[in-house]
Amino acid sequence: MRRLAFAAGGFSAAIFMANYILPARLLPWLALLCAAAALGLGFMRRKWLRAFVITLAALAVGFVWFGGTYLAKAMPAKALDGETAELEGVDLVTEGVITINKVIEYAKDALDKNELYEKWSIQRDGASMICRLLFEEATDINFYVGRAVNPAHQNPDLPINFNIKMNLVEELSNCLKQMGKRIKVSYF
């Protein structure tokens, strides 16, 4: 039972560090280092080293697992950042949550030091195009926000909750109001 506790502790520590502390590019190297250390210490056959070997092996497994999950789920989502599409009768079609988060980042910066102006004022990604429309051209902005639940966002591995659209629209609306825009939000 203690071995299981050491393994669970090592695995949990690896997931925590990979998620909140370490950059993703270090995960394969740390996994390799932990695995090599566990293997090397495992040959020593010292009873007092067993817990340490189990913890190191669990750290290696945790880093590998998180790295694989990151590559499988987070990287494809980041690839959508800024993507646009075309739809007849619609001026601009973008991904959604990732793009609006970027627009909010630009809006907060525009209200503060406006250091990112050179970035969004010339780029052709979806967030930059939205920024030019909202910040420079629009005076009256109507948001039509659907309350339907996206089944893809119900995956417990994704950090998206049910009210994310409402929160994002509210945050963006507040920024735009501070810019002097007239905002109307309609939920359906």
- Report phi then psi at 34, rounded to 5: -65, -40
pTM above 0.95, yes or no: no
Q: Is 134 helix (H, G, I), strand (E, B) or coil?
A: helix
Residue 70, pLDDT above cutoff 90: no
What percent of the chain is modeled with pLDDT above 90?
28
187 within 8 A of 140, measured Cβ to Cβ: no
Question: Average pLDDT of 96-100?
Answer: 82
Confidence of residue 109 (pLDDT cuts 50, 70, 90): very high
- Token duo for residue 95: 């991904």
65 within 8 A of 19, measured Cβ to Cβ: no
